[in-house]
Structure formats: C-alpha cells, structure tokens
C-alpha cells in the first residue's frame, strides 16, 4: 500500500544501502528536476516489526537508506538540491534505549530496552498521560562521499545520519556532490525526535518521502546547508560536538564573506548577535551541529543562497 499517491518514479524499500559509497550501483537514473518517491524502512530495517525483541537484532542491518539514485548531469564540484515536498509515515514507531547507547548509556546495565509507540489521529502516543503532535523528519539523507565508503550510521560532509530535526517537509537541503550522478539516498525517518537524540533513538518509523532532486552548477559547498521558510543553516559533523560547532561557524563565515561586503570580524559579530548554534545529535559516531540564521538578515545584504526557494 502506498502512502503517497504518485505517478512518477518510486524507489522501493527493498533497495537499501548500509553505506554511502561511490562504488554502489544506482537503482534508478533520473533527470535533474525530476520528482520521485522513496519508500523508507525504519532504522531497524523493520526487524522489530517481525520480532519485537532487541536480543535478536542484526546490528549489521540497521540504519538502511533507500537508494541510491543517479541524477543525470551531476558532477563532482556541483551541488545537489533536495526539496522535501511531502512526508507520510507508517502507523507505529519504535524506540530503543539502554546500556551502552546514548548520553546516559554508561549509567545503565540491563541491556537494551525497546518500546513500540502507536500513532492515533495524528498524535504519537507515549502513555495515557502524554501524547505528541507529529513532527516528521528524515534522519539519514545524503550523497556518496569522494574516496571512502561511510556507513549510514555516520554523518559527515556528505550528509548521512545527521539526525537534524529541521530536515522536515517543506525544507530544502543542498549537498556537495563528490561523484558523478551524486548517488543520493535517504531513510531513517522519525515521527518525533528531540534535538540531540539523547537516548540514541527518536520515534523510529518507516514511511514515504516525495522529493525533487536538481543539480546546481557553478556553486560549491563543503558541507550540507538547509533552507526553510525563515532560516538558512549550515550543518557540520565531526568527532566531537565542539569541533562540529566550530566547523559550522567556519563554513558559514566562508559562505558569507564571499557574498557580503563586510569585514570578516563584523560578519563574525553579526553571527554572534543573531545566529543560533544548535544541536542536531550527540549520539552517533560523529556529532552534528547546525548554525541557523534568519534569511531576512541575509537578504538585507542581498544574500540569498537560493533565490528560487
């Protein structure tokens, strides 16, 4: 049963990767500007749907991303624009927390615990006291890196497991392209996740994503950026959160100083005044930060990363 009715290309959740690699054969070729639907598995590859026991989980088959797809005309040094047009979710989610995982895992000693959460009338039910409005987001999204394979659990300059709550319906992401065709893939949706993902999971859920993928020539990036209605943000991942934060700031300054006629020190002041440094996640093999600034401020200096959105 498809959640998003769509006449165009559709990539099934049977076609998944566990690493982003230039050597993976694409499952589909598409023209720049084309829309398509990705059917995605939850981060446990639906294993818990078959057997809701964490003991039997095959950890070699977690964090699948659907794809990869080859975008015609994409070449190393270009930018891939990814418009997230629509997200639809399954009717239940899974969470895991416990010994050895997440920010509190070193204080726990009773293995991993698992819970199934239902979605009813558009709300995620936690218990009989608390339920939440859904805020669907995509955890793993990115392109093939240049010269190494990166497993889907790890975020880096190619995107990957960034677990950024801002990657939701209506937002547009931009990735540096490292290989011909870009080899884009996405998966690991969450019905809801708090910034940081402190326990190592959000409400992990399968679903479908309607995307439009376009190649932008003559634009360079070194790490993903995101544009939504209000804000422009740079996303950076590194071994520690401190390093990721510094990278996000550095990359933002690099982007702005070419475009805004202002001494670099004053650009730094402006960021210090009105940009927010925020946590994407602190629980994956690399940590992810974002630096978020209002588009209105940038537009006052005639800087708009992509005037078409």
CB-wise, 78 or 284, nearer to Ca ion? 284
Out of Ca ion, Zn ion, none, what residue 161 binds, judged by CB under 5 to 8 A for its kind, is Ca ion
Q: Rule CB under 5 A: choose which of 15, 45, 161, 237 binds Ca ion.
A: 161
In the bound complex, what is the minimum distance in angstroms from residue 286's beta carbon to Zn ion? 15
In the bound complex, what is the minimum distance in angstroms from residue 277's beta carbon to Ca ion? 21
Total residues binding Ca ion (CB under 5 A):
4
In the bound complex, what is the minimum distance in angstroms from residue 205's beta carbon to Zn ion? 9
Q: Rule CB under 5 A: choose which of 157, 163, 208, 247 binds Ca ion.
A: 163
Out of Ca ion, Zn ion, none, what residue 228 binds, judged by CB under 5 to 8 A for its kind, is none
Helix (H), strand (E), coil (C) string for the chain: CCCCCCCCCEECCCCEECEECCCCCCCEEECCCEEEEEEECCCCCCHHHHCCCHHHCCHHHCCCEEEEEEECCCCCCCEEEEEEEEEEECCEEEEEEECCCCCCHHHCCCCEEEEEEEEECCEEECCCCCEEECCCEEEEEECCCCCCCEECCCCECCEEECCCCCCCCCCEEEEECCCCCCCEEEEEEECCCCCECCCCCCCEECEEEEEEEEEECCCCCCCCEEECCCEEEEEEEECCHHHHHHHHHHHHHHHHHCCCCCCHHHHHHHHHHHCEEEEEECCCCCEEEEEEEEHHHHHCCCCCCCCCC
| Interface residue list for Zn ion (CB under 5 A) | 43, 139, 188, 204
CB-wise, 160 or 176, nearer to Zn ion? 160
CB-wise, 42 or 78, nearer to Ca ion? 42
In the bound complex, what is the minimum distance in angstroms from residue 130's beta carbon to Zn ion? 21
From 7-15, 186-194, 216-224, 236-244, give the range in contact with Ca ion by CB under 5 A: 186-194
Phi, psi of 271 (to 5 degrees): -65, -40
CB-wise, 139 or 176, nearer to Ca ion? 139
Out of Ca ion, Zn ion, none, what residue 247 binds, judged by CB under 5 to 8 A for its kind, is none
Q: Rule CB under 5 A: choose which of 26, 67, 98, 139 binds Ca ion.
A: 139
- 188 contributes a contact to Ca ion by CB under 5 A: yes
Instruction: Judge contact between 162 and 280, C-beta under 8 A.
Output: yes
Closest residue to Ca ion in the complex (CB): 139
CB-wise, 64 or 139, nearer to Zn ion? 139
Would you tell me which residues interact with Ca ion (CB under 5 A)?
A: 139, 161, 163, 188
């Amino acid at each position: 049963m498809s959640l998003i009715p769509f006449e165009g290309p559709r990539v099934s959740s049977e076609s998944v990767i566990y690493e982003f690699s230039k050597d993976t054969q694409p499952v589909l070729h598409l023209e720049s500007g084309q829309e398509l639907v990705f059917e995605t598995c939850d981060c446990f590859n639906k294993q818990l749907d078959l057997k809701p026991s964490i003991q039997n989980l095959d950890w070699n088959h977690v964090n699948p991303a659907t794809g990869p797809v080859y975008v015609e005309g994409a070449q190393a040094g270009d930018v891939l624009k990814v418009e997230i047009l629509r997200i639809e979710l399954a009717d239940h989610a899974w969470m895991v927390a416990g010994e050895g995982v997440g920010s509190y895992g070193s204080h726990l000693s009773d293995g991993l615990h698992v819970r199934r959460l239902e979605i009813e009338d558009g709300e995620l039910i936690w218990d009989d006291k608390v339920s939440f409005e859904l805020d669907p987001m995509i955890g793993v999204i990115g392109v093939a890196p240049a010269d190494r394979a990166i497993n889907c659990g790890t975020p880096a300059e190619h995107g990957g497991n960034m677990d950024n709550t801002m990657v939701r319906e209506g937002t547009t992401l931009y990735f540096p392209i490292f290989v011909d065709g870009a080899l884009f893939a996405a998966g690991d949706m969450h019905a809801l996740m708090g910034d940081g993902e402190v326990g190592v999971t959000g409400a992990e859920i399968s679903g479908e994503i309607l995307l439009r993928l376009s190649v932008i020539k003559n634009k360079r990036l070194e790490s993903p950026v995101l544009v939504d209605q209000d804000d422009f943000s740079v996303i950076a991942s590194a071994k520690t959160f401190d390093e990721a934060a510094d990278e996000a700031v550095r990359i933002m300054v690099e982007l702005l100083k070419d475009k805004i006629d202002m001494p670099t020190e004053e650009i730094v002041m402006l960021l210090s005044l009105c940009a927010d440094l925020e946590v994407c996640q602190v629980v994956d093999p690399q940590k992810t930060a974002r630096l978020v600034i209002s588009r209105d401020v940038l537009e006052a200096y005639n800087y708009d990363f992509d005037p078409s959105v």
